[in-house]
């Protein structure tokens, strides 16, 4: 039994996680079929429904490596610049791409691999949260150009459904914008039950009998105020249960076990999230003190830089955060860099280079 939790915590499922990716067989097959219906696919759903995992793990494993060339793209600082960066990174003939129109760059990429290029724009709502109207307009004109070209390219937009209305004004530019869409629904309780049961079996975790009580207890502890279960929160909670039992087990040689006592000790999801964040922030602050740093609550200040006014996460860049905090707070760049690296190591934040 490994001493590290096998659960995904805050990370999305990737291609190699397929053996532990449960509960989305129908959605995976349906999305796979939709990729052949048109060259533009709109994938949307509420936050926490597992859209990214569905594509990166479920859909990815439906294709043979010879059948597609997926580029997973986030907006980063600018969506078109990010697209060009990913094309350049994947291209064999990088020099020939310079100063070429993007449609030509994509075609060159197709010639490099001789398989259809899939441009997958994840967390596409970032374009409307952080981008300008000009940036969005330029992107949709580019989208229209790519779709009208003879390039072997398919485009997928993955976004939270509360931002769908932001697409309306671009339908005149891309008339097929809503034609081939797929909504990822929240999992039903029985599906969540199946995910827990199959995950614990896959990772050789023992569940106290009757198993139905323990699994139902897990589900009840992670429901939100509306009785819904966020799949990210499910992974966070299972990860915490695993780590709590590792501590409880100590040096005893036995399988990890989920039981009533462990559920009571771990508590509800809100307690788990609060405890985890408090523990890690205190841990980093203590490490900074040992480095003779005068920075107080630096980890919290870094986190604050990664939240928008709308309460959503925004993409972070090490150099931007370092420059901003060193200018505003007169803090050591070495301390800020150390803090960022530790937050990243502890899986609290993800940074783009």
Are 160 and 38 members of one domain? yes
Are 85 and 104 members of one domain? yes
66 to 55, 63, 89, 259: CA distances (angstroms): 17, 8, 19, 45
pTM more than 0.75? yes
282 domain residue, yes or no: no
- How confident is the model at residue 353, as a pLDDT? 41
18 domain residue, yes or no: no
Are 70 and 217 members of one domain? no
Which CATH number belongs to the domain containing residue 121 in this structure?
3.40.50.300
Q: Which residues contact 166 (CB under 8 A, 6 or more apart)?
A: 125, 128
Query: Which residues make beta-bridge pairs with 120?
Result: 72, 156
202 domain residue, yes or no: yes
340 to 249, 252, 293, 314: CA distances (angstroms): 32, 36, 14, 15
33 domain residue, yes or no: yes
Are 53 and 149 members of one domain? yes
Q: Which residues contact 170 (CB under 8 A, 6 or more apart)?
A: 136, 137, 140, 177
Query: Checking phi first, is residue 175 left (phi over 0); if not, alpha (psi -120 to 50) or beta?
Result: alpha
Cα dihedral sign for 67, 106, 86, 9?
negative
Give dist(CA 152, CA 74) in Å, integer.
21
273 domain residue, yes or no: no
227 domain residue, yes or no: yes
- How confident is the model at residue 292, as a pLDDT? 65
Are 32 and 160 members of one domain? yes
- How confident is the model at residue 324, as a pLDDT? 74
Q: In which domain, by residue range, is 320 found? A: 292-352
Site of tokens 């707070």: 329
- How confident is the model at residue 316, as a pLDDT? 53
Eight-state DSSP code of residue 58: I
Are 106 and 167 members of one domain? yes
284 domain residue, yes or no: no
Are 178 and 239 members of one domain? no
Q: For the chain, how many structural domains are there in total?
A: 3
Are 88 and 233 members of one domain? no
Are 56 and 180 members of one domain? yes
253 domain residue, yes or no: yes
Backbone angles phi, psi at 27, to 5 degrees: -65, -40
pLDDT in tens, the chain (353 residues): 567 899 998 889 999 999 999 999 999 999 999 999 999 999 999 999 999 999 999 999 999 999 999 999 999 889 999 999 999 999 998 887 888 999 999 999 999 999 999 999 999 999 998 899 999 999 999 999 999 998 999 999 999 999 999 999 999 999 999 999 999 999 999 999 999 999 999 999 999 999 999 999 999 999 988 899 999 999 999 999 999 999 999 888 899 999 999 999 999 999 998 888 888 888 888 888 887 666 677 888 887 776 644 444 445 556 777 777 777 666 777 888 888 888 877 767 765 44
């Amino acid at each position: 039994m490994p001493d590290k939790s096998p659960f995904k915590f805050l990370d999305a499922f990737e291609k190699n996680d397929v053996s532990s990716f449960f509960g989305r067989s129908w959605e995976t097959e349906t999305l796979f079929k939709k990729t052949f219906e048109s060259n533009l696919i709109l994938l949307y759903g509420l936050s926490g429904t597992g859209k990214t995992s569905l594509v990166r793990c479920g859909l990815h494993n439906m294709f043979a490596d010879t059948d597609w060339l997926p580029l997973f793209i986030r907006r980063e600082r600018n969506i078109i610049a990010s697209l060009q960066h990913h094309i350049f990174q994947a291209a064999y003939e990088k020099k020939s791409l310079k100063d070429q129109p993007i449609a030509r760059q994509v075609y060159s990429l197709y010639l490099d691999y001789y398989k259809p290029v899939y441009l997958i724009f994840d967390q596409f709502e970032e374009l409307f949260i952080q981008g300008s109207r000009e940036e969005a307009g330029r992107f949709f004109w580019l989208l229209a150009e790519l779709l009208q070209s003879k390039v072997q390219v398919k485009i997928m937009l993955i976004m939270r459904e509360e931002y769908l209305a932001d697409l309306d004004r671009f339908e005149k530019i891309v008339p097929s914008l809503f034609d081939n869409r797929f909504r990822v629904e929240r999992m039903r309780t029985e599906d969540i039950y199946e995910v827990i049961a199959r995950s614990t079996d896959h990772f050789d975790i023992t569940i106290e009998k009757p198993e139905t009580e323990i699994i139902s207890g897990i589900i009840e502890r992670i429901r939100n105020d509306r009785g819904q279960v966020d799949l990210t929160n499910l992974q966070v909670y299972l990860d915490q249960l695993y780590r709590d039992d590792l501590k409880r087990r100590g040096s005893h040689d036995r399988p990890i076990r989920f039981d009533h006592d462990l559920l009571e000790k771990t508590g509800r999801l809100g307690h788990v999230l609060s405890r985890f964040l408090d523990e890690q922030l205190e841990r980093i602050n203590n490490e900074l003190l040992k480095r003779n740093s005068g920075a107080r609550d630096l980890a919290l200040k870094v986190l604050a830089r990664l939240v928008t006014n709308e309460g959503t996460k925004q993409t972070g860049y090490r150099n931007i955060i370092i420059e901003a905090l060193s200018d505003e707070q007169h803090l050591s760049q070495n301390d800020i860099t150390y803090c960022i690296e530790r937050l990243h190591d502890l899986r609290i934040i993800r940074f783009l280079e």
